[in-house]
Chains A and B, each alone.
Chain A
């Protein structure tokens, strides 16, 4: 069945005149993966000694492939002739492929030690990606921050995983759940220390300082991968930790929930006053991730479903917003909101795409973002009415900054930096945007696939 699908898709694409093999391979891979989604959502199947599959990991692997595909398409500027900066033969493409490989393996392994290995492995190509292609001291600071925050908070996780390995005598995820998890421990403070690494990776509000710095200094493909894939490591890890170690609700968990939710509201508010486009989109990432974290920690089943849905829809929408911001950087030579303005009169199609993704970011029905937002707020409201009200406040501020973002870039008089000769705009940004848009809008039609 999957072969039939692949053949038909490739015939259609060939008929439309697409001679590029790269697109074809990627689309076939994605089609194959989508067809593989007949695994049930709450069973975890061990496919081999190293790989374990359930629907959430298939979804995340799909997300990795899609985001790396989009980031490679959008960064062909660095690959085309004349602009390649080599470091002993490695360029952006290899770094992106390394991150993609590390992520795909991270989402598929079924033993805790390999999980931790790939968790830290994907940091290395990201570090190179942020650091290499520029000479400002802020780049070094951003890359070092990212490493310090992430690695420093994951050392307790390593220690506890090693201790757990010695306790249960195996580090297979499924086996540890069958043994009964970690029920013997008093899981208040140890839970917090163990999940600290995931909380820093999916940036919870207090430990979020690395994310805007990293986004501002990274090149486009780095930002796309960081926002699209690397932040989901934290969410995925937290779901696996909660699932396989059978933690129960406690005061610490509620503390983290309230802390992250209020931090989400604050960071959505902070978004409205940013002066750098990329930094604005980075703070919006923090807000979305905070919403998903807080509904996950409510320990409802709709909470986990909504969390995965938010991770997925944010993982497609945010890289496209970054690619649009890079687009406006290309013709205004600046990321500041004072200088890149008023493109609605000169690039109407790009302005339309900006609008479309700004409203998708704020949760426009009938897209996947809307359902994720509604069920997140629903899960929070079912827990406690005040949390639901705060979730609603966050939706309001999300709407505010998304429209502020749109009107900052698109409204008004055309910026004086735009008119320079030799302006040729390629359509690669638009192609990846259309692709992402179709996915997000069409996700409503197969909602069961995303509500894991």
Chain B
């Protein structure tokens, strides 16, 4: 069977649930090379994360509960990967959203509750889109990924795309990913780097037959805006975990961009490679945070290069992978995406924005390296140590991910190596354009040193182009105020007090008084007896 899967075959097991509906409601388990590879990498990364959390949460009282939650999360992800029919997918999809809520609110404080709420409500919007997609699919013959949408047109693709966009935190649903960094670092390393945000990408890869031209277009626009947003915000962000989260956001945007070009296999390759080196990056970050007394703010950190050499070395390597430094792990997949972007039919604007995002990636990676490693003499560095066995072993297990994972994958699977022919004049002209643009930008920022402009730019970029404020605080406070005033006026006022008390009381009082009068009256009694006798005679 292994040889069969290797050569492109698949094993499908189907379990039929109900026969009463016209649609085939069934759960089908599919084992082909995509699902096998993805589930293998998910299980490997989660194993390393479990070892890492033995180090990070070693002082926590509820460690068994944490492990149970983590295992449930991994089960949901594996169910999502292995069951690509829509009904089976929803099991994993909903499970992912809900268990990530529990993991984000693990620390039981009010700010983690607000982050958990925005996470799960954004995911719930995606769930609703998927439910509507299932309802549309009920009119076709099956829920699987093999169908074509011949009945519902492009609306099905829109629902599919919107659902995946909420899970993978594309614009306009991006606010939850930096907020979800209130979770413990092992959770971020598993959930927010490799599994939760890639679930949307995986669903789009599987169901890409349902996407039409319009959705591809919208997807490319939204992924480009996401990449820009994440790249520019990461250059100004001071919380280190949020910087890594924003880098995840931009990489997921890149994967979505590759899907919108039609290069699904390249997107899948980048998904796997990115999972490995991003998990490693989060683990190194977790070690730094743990040893500096849970300080996440980079303005207080520095000088890790001297005190945690192994960690900083691996951090350096994973950042190089992220930037696409030649012959590191991330280089192979990123180069394929760039090649696809240049050789397939996209407009000039798309290519320019794509290259700008790559430039942003390099800039914030170097900024992070600088902030973490350079000795700024702002923090007491006496307490770092590398003695914990769990930490060392988890780093050693994941070490390969930053360096040679993609080389190994490319040499085993022939689907991952493609060739693209790039027009050199296009390439060099775009490069020149970008260099000039950045030169202008640097000049602009140097000449305009007005304080208000700089602070405005900083506010704009720090709150992710104001998206985090709009998505969270503004919407929820307005909605809850509206609901409360609705309750006071309509619910308690009209329905309960007016109709409930006054109207019903007045009606029953009126009747009661009249019946009282009638019963006490002799004439009324005679009338009542006569009428009842007449009615009985009439009916029978």
Contacts and interface: CB of A to CB of B under 8 A. Distances in A.
Interface in A333-370: 342, 344-345, 348, 355, 359, 363-366, 370
Contact of B125 (A388, A396, A412): A396
Contact of B90 (A273, A370, A399): A370
A302 B500 contact: no
Given A269-B486, A272-B480, A395-B128, 8 more contacts: A148-B504, A370-B94, A374-B131, A380-B135, A382-B135, A389-B132, A392-B131, A411-B108
A166 interface: yes
Contacts of A388: 132, 135
A374 B21 contact: no
A85 interface: no
Interface in B40-97: 62, 65, 87, 90-91, 94-95
Q: Which 5 A-B pairs have the closest CB atoms?
A: A378-B135, A447-B18, A399-B124, A381-B135, A365-B91
A370 B92 CA distance: 13
Interface string B473-497: 0000001100110110001000110
Contact of B500 (A145, A273, A377, A413): A145
Contact of B135 (A270, A370, A374): A374
Interface string A298-333: 000010010000000000000000000000000000
A206 interface: yes
B480 A209 contact: no
B132 A162 contact: no
Contacts of B98: 359, 364
24 contacts: A166-B539, A273-B480, A344-B108, A345-B108, A364-B94, A364-B98, A365-B87, A366-B27, A366-B87, A366-B91, A370-B90, A374-B90, A378-B135, A381-B135, A381-B136, A382-B138, A388-B135, A393-B128, A399-B120, A400-B124, A403-B121, A407-B113, A413-B108, A451-B20
Given A209-B500, A396-B128, A273 B483 contact: yes
A447 B17 CA distance: 6
Of B27, B62, B128, B508, most buried by chain A (CB within 10 Å of CB) is B128
Most chain A CB inside 10 Å of its own CB: which residue of B95, B134, B500: B500
B68 to A, nearest CB: 9
Interface string A142-183: 000100100000000000001000100000000000000000
A373 interface: yes
Contacts of B21: 302, 305, 375, 451
Contacts of B94: 359, 363-365, 370
A448 interface: yes
Nearest to B125: A396
A378 B20 contact: no
Contacts of A166: 539
B110 interface: yes
A148 B501 CA distance: 11
Interface string B116-131: 1100110011011101
A91 interface: no
Contacts of B139: 382
B484 A395 contact: no
A370 B27 CA distance: 14
Contacts of B138: 302, 375, 378, 382
Given A273-B483, A411-B105, A447-B18, A377 B495 contact: no
Contacts of A380: 135
B101 interface: yes
A378 B484 CA distance: 31
Interface string A98-118: 000000000000000000000
Interface string B1-39: 000000000000000011111000101000000000000
A272 B499 CA distance: 24
B102 interface: yes
Interface residues of B, number: 52
- Among A210, A389, A393, A400, the most chain B Cβ lie within 10 Å of the Cβ of A400
Contacts of A345: 108
Given A145-B500, A302-B21, A444-B17, A403 B131 contact: no
Given A348-B65, A364-B98, A412-B110, A451 B18 contact: yes
A393 to B, nearest CB: 8
Contacts of B124: 396, 399-400
B19 A403 contact: no
B127 A377 contact: no
Chain B interface helix/strand/loop/mixed: helix
Contacts of B127: 395, 399
Nearest to A403: B120
The residue in B17, B62, B101 that gathers the most chain A C-beta atoms within 10 A of its C-beta is B17
A345 B132 CA distance: 37
B495 A403 contact: no
A305 B20 contact: yes
A258 interface: no
Contacts of A389: 132
Which of A162, A166, A213, A411 is the most central at the interface, judged by chain B CB atoms within 10 Å of its CB?
A: A411
B117 A270 contact: no
Contacts of B95: 364-365
A266 interface: yes
Contacts of A396: 121, 124-125, 128
Interface string A406-437: 01000111000000000000000000000000
Contacts of A447: 17-18, 25
A148 B508 contact: yes
Nearest to A205: B495
Contacts of B101: 403
A171 B308 CA distance: 87
Nearest to A389: B132
A388 B127 CA distance: 14
B135 A448 contact: no
Nearest to B159: A392
B210 to A, nearest CB: 17
B103 to A, nearest CB: 12
A238 B131 CA distance: 27
Nearest to A364: B94
Given A370-B90, A388-B132, A403-B117, A206 B495 contact: yes
Nearest to A447: B18
B483 A270 contact: yes
